[in-house]
Amino acid sequence: WHAVCAASEAAPDGRKGAESYLRELIWREFSYQLLFHHPYLPEAAFKPEFNAFPWTQNEQGLEAWRRGRTGYPIVDAGMRQLWETGWMHNRVRMIVASFLIKHLLVDWREGEAWFWDTLVDADLANNAASWQWVAGSGADAAPYFRIFNPTLQSEKFDAEGGYIRRFVPELAKLDNAGIHAPWLAAPAALARGGVKLGETYSLPIVDHGKARIAALAAYEAIKK
């Protein structure tokens, strides 16, 4: 902590990165404290009402998520990077976790288990606390109505599509306008990019708008 603070003072240009690093350290320590006082954290919701959440038995969706075949390029890029390298950026972790929980309504524990098996930096406390943060069931969790739009996240954090092109090479020849949501791209753009939706690249396995409505309805149900 002190070394990072000193380094950021000496090199102000790196202060933003240093602050991000320190935030993650604080989150890790907070997660350790949670697990120490609540040892059930990896198996049960911190907020008991979430134990009644109506999760779906969506095995097909879960497998598509694991393999990076959801039809949402930023999600697929993240999951393929995880499988290939055992790591992905924290932003992408949040995007793919939100997609599994709030687009597919798959129990957060399925995602927690997959991350535990595949991440080289897997940490019991951090993993459990982070998945519950996304699900809305954890301590100081994200509000249940915070549902990431994966396309907007992609456009904001991978504007040029470089990340997607690296890990989803079948989309590499699409232009920047089409790479974030290929199903919305013009037929001519898809043809130029050599993309055949449903053949060379998956169609979206779920519609974002409909998924958002379903997720909000499910969350409202446990509040009654």
Catalytic residue among 58, 131, 133, 170: 131
Catalytic residue among 1, 29, 51, 90: 90
Q: Is 1 a residue whose pLDDT tops 70?
A: no
Catalytic site residue 27? Answer: yes
Catalytic site residue 131? Answer: yes
Supply the pLDDT for residue 80: 99
214 phi/psi in degrees, rounded to 5? -65, -40
Q: Is 56 a residue whose pLDDT tops 90?
A: yes
Supply the pLDDT for residue 65: 99
Catalytic site residue 90? Answer: yes
* Average pLDDT score, the chain: 94
Segment 101-113 shows an average pLDDT of: 98
Catalytic residue among 19, 24, 49, 220: 24
Q: Is 70 a residue whose pLDDT tops 90?
A: yes
Supply the pLDDT for residue 167: 99
pLDDT digits over 11-49, tens only?
Answer: 777 677 778 888 888 999 999 999 999 999 999 999 999
Helix ranges (DSSP H) in 99-207: 108-118, 124-135, 150-157, 162-167, 176-179, 187-193
Catalytic site residue 87? Answer: no
Q: Between 25 and 2, name the one with better pLDDT.
A: 25
Segment 185-202 shows an average pLDDT of: 98
Catalytic site residue 133? Answer: no
Q: Is 144 a residue whose pLDDT tops 90?
A: no
pLDDT digits over 124-143, tens only?
Answer: 999 999 999 999 999 987 77
Pull the structure tokens for residue 87.
Answer: 């790591």
Assessment of whether the complete model's pTM goes beyond 0.75 = yes
Handedness of CA 99, 18, 163, 87 (dihedral sign): negative
3-class SS of residue 119: coil
From the number of C-beta atoms within 10 Å of its C-beta (0-12, 13-18, 19+), residue 65 rates as: buried
Supply the pLDDT for residue 63: 99
Helix axes 73-85, 90-98, angle to 10 degrees: 120
Handedness of CA 18, 23, 24, 25 (dihedral sign): positive
